[in-house]
Amino acid sequence: MSSVSIRKIRKSFAGLTVLDSVDMEIAPGEFIVILGPSGCGKSTLLNVIAGLDDCESGQIVIDAVDVSGLEPSQRGLAMVFQSYALFPAMTVRRNLSFGMEVAGTPKPTIVQKVDWVAKLLQIEALLDRKPGQLSGGQRQRVAIGRALVRSSSICLFDEPLSNLDAKLRAETRVELKQLHETLKSTMIYVTHDQIEAMTMADRVAVMHKGRVEQFAPPQSIYEKPASLFVAGFVGSPAMNLLEGSLDGAGRFLVGQRSIGSSAYPFEDPSTAGEAVLGIRCEDIDVVEPGSPDSIPAKLAFTELLGADALGWFDCLGKRMSVRLGVDAARSMRKEVGLRFDMAKASFFSASTERRL
Amino acid sequence: MTVVFFFGIVAVFFYGSIVWTGYMSLTRSTLMPNYNFVGFDQYIKLFTNHRWLVSCLNMVIFGVLYIVGTLAFGTLLAVFADRRIRAESLFRTIFLYPLAVSLIVTGLSWRWVLDPVNGLQGLVRGMGWENFTFDWLTDPDRAIYTLVIAGIWHSAGLIMVIILAGLRGVDEDLWKAIRMEGIPLWRAYLQVIFPGMRPVVASCVVLLMSDVIRGYDLVIAMTKGGPGIATEMPAKFAVDYYFARVNLGLASAASIAMLVLSLLLLAPYFYSEFRRRT
């Protein structure tokens, strides 16, 4: 177990800022997911941590040692790549042992470690095959195995599951999570898949345009997004967003309507001005039209998702999603009222896009 | 219609010629074709002919050294280019240029350079090293190596370009993995990268092999098979017997022997390619 501390990492490429003063403190044994859309700098950040990419300024500190100037192989890290990057002409066994062989590890230790990892990942039967004879899922196991035999206390993952099909991805996700619990090593995992982030991470760092927008446990990322970007990026369906203004006296005005906002835990209740209200589909109740504190809405269509359903309503000039029971969705009337659970809602400043 | 036409041309002029040559090799033809069937007489004569056997041995010596040397030198150049040296495209052009020159010109240039009197030896002696000797071109035991040198100079650029294309196709993640494992560069190339490029290397070997088997013009331009018969090659043997010594039967037998040899050499390649597809 090792701690990683990322301090003020800055990198730009051809005038474009790729990483803009990224700071992150990672505790020993944590499973960190770096989440973001493509081009947000998440893979670059991982490469900088690994030492595969240079940064302009800033430090990478592992266990209180500044490793910024060290070669990737000297940083005590292991890494798993999206395209697996197995050594093509070597058997699985040799893929696992080659790094140790180069490092001059004694033979018995190599054999012992290869056996351990093969057993752990259930790839014993594949040891004498070449990567070309393996399926995508098997290759990924070998790639993870090659990272594990290094016995590093920190393991980096660069979108390791994105080349797998949906079913295999779900299975491997669970296995990785279990692996983390067994090994208790520090893991830093880059992905654009929010389900991976939500299910595996102890904490998620959401990145956007080279900045960390929010670094928090997945549930609070979901419930209390720190910025408009996080609100829109995390969650499926996306959070409902309504532009309006706060009057500073407990009302949120949208067009001719107003919604009571006093239940919302404002940092400063007297905040006024342009704002965006964000509300998740499960924090909206469907009520009789005209009920107190409700807003009239018109049902556009419903989607049945199996366990539950989504109702899509036209409300205040926006198309909004509401999570419904399957029975409720089937018998939904056209004209209804929507009531927002303001205690669970989010308000963002329209100018800074940060949470209020 | 056009397809049929072109297939017809191929059938008549390529395969037809092969069949006719095969037939000729079974006759006692001399200057003009003669259709008296004599079985494998010409082949027996061929394989008891000292000059033919020397030619074949020369081809093996030249072939092994040329293929290994060109691959090694071309690969080395490709690795340097792949390490993103400065002015890469300039060097690439320079090294590719010999290929644009006909083998006759290559041969002539090297004949001049290696000429003991007017070439390199003369130059160094002229600078004061009177005892300097580099007369491989006129040494019957070493003349074959001068062909190897000229051949490598000619083809290394092509191999460089092909190998470089292969290297540029290597997955960037693979290089990252190599750096993470701390594998030294030379081991990375020898044990990871090149073994993963087997089809590319195989294509290079096939290309070079075809050079070796049809090797004619370089010999003509540099040594004309000499000194003596020290640098004779099978293709030159066949041409000589067709036109200078007017022995159509023996020349045809030599040609067919070369065809069989090429097929034997190329068979493993086509076999492995075919097997991979299915």
Residue B27 falls within a domain, yes or no? no
**Residue B92 CB neighbours (<10 A):** 17
Number of domains into which chain B is organized: 1
The Cα–Cα gap between A114 and A108 comes to: 10
The residue among B212, B260, B205, B202 whose CA lies nearest residue B63 is B212
Least confident interval from A187-196, A278-287, B46-55, B64-73: B46-55
Cis bond before residue B227 (omega within 30° of 0): yes
B66 confidence band (pLDDT: 50, 70, 90): very high
A175 vs chain B: nearest CA distance in angstroms? 22
Phi, psi dihedrals of residue A44, rounded to the nearest 5°: -60, -45
Residue B35 falls within a domain, yes or no? no
Left (φ > 0), alpha (ψ -120 to 50) or beta: where does A343 sit?
alpha
Confidence (pLDDT) at B107: 76
**Architecture of the CATH domain A237-349:** Beta Barrel (2.40)
Residue B160 falls within a domain, yes or no? yes
A83 reaches B (C-beta below 8 A): yes
Residues of chain A with pLDDT under 50: none
Q: Which residues of B touch A (CB under 8 A)?
A: 171, 173-174, 176-177, 179-184, 187, 191-192, 195-196, 198
H or E element in which residue A280 lies: none
Topology match between the domains A4-232 and A237-349: no
Instruction: Tell me the CATH number at B136.
Output: 1.10.3720.10
- Closest residue of A to B191, CA-based? A89
Q: Residue B167's Cα: distance from chain center in Å?
A: 23
Residue B60 falls within a domain, yes or no? yes
**Percent of all residues in chain B with a pLDDT value above 70, rounded to a whole number:** 97
Residue B84 has pLDDT above 90, yes or no: no
Taking CB atoms and an 8 Å limit, are A77 and B180 in contact across chains? yes
Annotation: CATH topology of A4-232: Rossmann fold (3.40.50)
Taking CB atoms and an 8 Å limit, are B173 and A74 in contact across chains? no
A266 vs chain B: nearest CA distance in angstroms? 47
- N-term to C-term CA, chain B: 32
Taking CB atoms and an 8 Å limit, are B182 and A47 in contact across chains? no
DSSP conformational letter for A239: P
**Length of chain A, please?**
356
The residue among A86, A47, A197 whose CA lies nearest residue B177 is A86
Amino acid at B59: M
A304 with A327: CB under 8 angstroms? no
Contacts across the A-B interface (CB distance below 8 Å)? 70
Residue B25 falls within a domain, yes or no? no
Confidence (pLDDT) at A55: 85
b/e burial code for range A156-176 (CB count within 10 A of at least 16 → b) = bbbbbbeebeeeebeebbeeb
A79 reaches B (C-beta below 8 A): yes
Q: Residue A56's Cα: distance from chain center in Å?
A: 26
Q: Which of B167, B179, B181 to mutate to test the interface with A (most CBs of A within 10 A)?
A: B181
Least confident interval from A175-189, B85-99, B195-209: B85-99
Domain residue ranges of chain A, discontinuous segments joined by +:
4-232, 237-349
Taking CB atoms and an 8 Å limit, are B176 and A89 in contact across chains? no
B112 with B118: CB under 8 angstroms? yes
Confidence (pLDDT) at A330: 87
Taking CB atoms and an 8 Å limit, are A72 and B174 in contact across chains? no
DSSP H helices in B169-247: 172-181, 185-187, 198-213, 217-222, 234-239
The Cα–Cα gap between A248 and A243 comes to: 16
Q: Taking CA A298 as the corner, what is the angle to CA A297 and CA A300, rounded to the nearest 5 degrees?
A: 135
B91 vs chain A: nearest CA distance in angstroms? 27
Mean pLDDT of B74-85: 84
Taking CB atoms and an 8 Å limit, are A87 and B198 in contact across chains? no
What is the ipTM, given to two decimal places? 0.83
Confidence (pLDDT) at A216: 93
- Closest residue of B to A77, CA-based? B180
> Each residue of A175-233: pLDDT tens digit?
899 989 988 899 999 999 888 999 999 999 999 998 999 999 999 999 999 999 999 99
Does residue A136 sit in helix, strand or coil? Answer: helix
> Each residue of B105-125: pLDDT tens digit?
877 787 788 777 777 777 777
Residue B172 has pLDDT above 70, yes or no: yes
Containing domain of residue B70, as a range? 46-277
B234 confidence band (pLDDT: 50, 70, 90): confident
Confidence (pLDDT) at B276: 64
Residue B12 falls within a domain, yes or no? no
Higher per-residue confidence, B36 vs A253: A253
B67 vs chain A: nearest CA distance in angstroms? 23
Does residue A292 sit in helix, strand or coil? Answer: coil
β-strands A309-315, A318-324: how paired? antiparallel
Taking CB atoms and an 8 Å limit, are A81 and B187 in contact across chains? no
The Cα–Cα gap between A223 and A2 comes to: 29
The residue among B83, B278, B276 whose CA lies nearest residue B198 is B276
For the residues of A4-27, what is the DSSP string, one character each? EEEEEEEEEETTEEEEEEEEEEE-
Task: State if pTM tops 0.95.
Answer: no
Residue B13 falls within a domain, yes or no? no
Residue B34 falls within a domain, yes or no? no
Confidence (pLDDT) at A189: 94
Confidence (pLDDT) at A136: 86
Residues forming beta bridges with residue A259, ordered by sequence position? A252
Q: Which of A49, A52, A146 to mutate to test the interface with B (most CBs of B within 10 A)?
A: A52
β-strands A240-247, A309-315: how paired? unpaired
Close Cβ partners of A138 (under 8 Å, ≥ 6 residues apart):
A123, A126
Least confident interval from A51-65, B11-25, B97-111: B97-111
The Cα–Cα gap between A22 and A100 comes to: 33
Q: Which of A84, A97, A102 to mutate to test the interface with B (most CBs of B within 10 A)?
A: A102
Counts for chain A of helices (H) and strands (E), in that order = 9, 20
